[in-house]
Amino acid sequence: MTIESPAGASSAGRRHRVVVVGGGFGGLNAVRELADADVDVTLVDRTNHHLFQPLLYQVAAGILSPGLIAPALRGIVKNQANARVLLADVKELDLEAKVVHATGPDDRPLDLPYDTLVVAAGATHSYFGKDEFAEFAPGMKTIEDARFTRDAILSKFEMAEEAADPAERAEWLTFVVIGAGPTGVELVGQIAELAHSVLPRDYRSINTRDARIVLLEGAPSVLPPFDKKLQAYTHQQLEKMGVEVHTNSLATSMDHESITFKSPEGEQTIRARTRIWAAGVAASPLAKQLAAEAGLETDRAGRIPVNPDCTVAGHPEVFAIGDMVSLNKLPGVAQPAMQESKYVGKVIKKRLSRETDTAPFKYFDKGSMATIGYRSAVADAFKFKVTGVIAYAMWAFIHVLYLVGWGNRLLTLYQWLRNLVFTKNRNHRIITYSRAKKDINTGRIYKTGRLSAILPAVSRPDDLNRPLAVPTRPASETRSGA
């Protein structure tokens, strides 16, 4: 099935067709930049929502509901008359025929002809050649990933509550996060707050403060791209929160019950039922496919090189932006994608006006930020290096500002005040895997390959015969210090 312009105009009378692949920061901002252009824009994405990835970890921690950071794409562009949204999975980019080949929700083929193509397909997880780790240490790039991570974390406290064997209970209460970039730091900080501040009152047979939280990083310090002052502050704050920080440490093997890593002290194994991957990213597979079509080579991270104006070599009508491209050694974060998308939108409009004086893309670095815990963050912005409460306030302001829609911004502020300030609770702590697991066992849904990482089947023979006798927690400990 071939989809032409929204009005179904003939090729002779139709407007210029722009197809945008990807509804993330890059794709969505490119569509918005073209709102006043005399073009027909088609935004195609495999999901129906725009995801604000920097706050994914707060969904995983139960602070925010998914809808606040993932508004529907159709709702965002509903007032943009020249734009439409298609829910489809792009499979191939035919640069010679100028057609995007995709499949719809029912897997039927869908062809999208274009005059100008903007590819902003983003990035996915990178396990640095050890893809088998994906089964044991899921990453977090989508709303589904965040929900599964939330299930994985919360279900382990439930299992610890039911475990009678102290050694087994310790395994359920051990959490290992691999990668100490912003996502890894923010995630271990939230797990620590859950275990030490939020959950102690909720359980009777265990003391959640006994949880062991481990952060592994292959580089010499946490937050590798940040200033050394901010790295030292972050390391110190994490240790104050009870997080074990291991730098210069590389994961070498893992299974559903343990992880082995190599550090300066030698090889170590930690018995842990939860492992979360936050160590690296790789460009979307579409980058490699696009590079092959254009006769180019991708870099080690799978990114395609682009010209200074973000076009693909030999194809001035094709733009590639965001995490999937290699341009001036820019980092794979939201800001380059947003700035590139607005630049590309302006270039397209200039071309339609037959202007040829297009300057190369120039990136303005607005800095980097990361939270560590409640009222603790680091920020490197506008030549200022800030820590603590001030950095936390800066981080909150910037992130709320970039959310889509005033309703989502106000509700996010409300959820932060409710969960972090007043109640010190997490009101989005639902576990959904249990129902899904029953559905799988009864054949009601297909196996996803995801549940095993949340609560793997018992693999040790002695566990099969060990009863889940709920231990008794001394009355003096039940409410003490909570």
Closest among 479, 449, 467 to 136, alpha carbons compared: 449
Q: What is the DSSP string of 52-112?
A: -GGGHHHHHTTSS-HHHH--BHHHHSTT-TTEEEEE-EEEEEETTTTEEEEE-TT--EEEE
CA distances to 118, 337, 480 from 316, in Å: 11, 19, 67
- The Cα 173–Cα 212 span in angstroms is 6
- Residue in this structure with the two tokens 């170590």, named with its chain if needed: 268
Give the pairing of strands 250-254 and 243-246. Answer: unpaired
Please return the burial class of 120, using the count of CB atoms within 10 Å of its CB with bins 0-12, 13-18 and 19+. buried
Q: Both tokens of residue 214?
A: 């481990």
Percent composition of the chain: helix, strand, coil (DSSP 3-state, to 5): 35, 25, 40
Sign (positive/negative) of CA torsion 136, 139, 143, 147?
positive
- The Cα 145–Cα 122 span in angstroms is 16
CA distances to 32, 58, 154, 159, 322 from 125, in Å: 28, 19, 23, 28, 15
CA distances to 39, 215, 250 from 260, in Å: 54, 13, 9
Contact 100, 115 (CB under 8 A): no
Closest among 382, 380, 329 to 227, alpha carbons compared: 380
- DSSP code, position 344: H
Options 33, 171, 186, 340, the catalytic residue: 186
Q: Both tokens of residue 288?
A: 């490699």
At 121, which helix (H) or strand (E)? Answer: none
3-state SS assignment for residue 132: helix
Active site residue 186: yes
- The Cα 249–Cα 177 span in angstroms is 12
CB-based contacts of 403, cutoff 8 Å, min separation 6: 52, 55, 68, 69, 409, 412
Q: What is the DSSP string of 17-31?
A: EEEEE--SHHHHHHH
Strand partners, 86: 44
Q: Which residues are catalytic?
A: 186
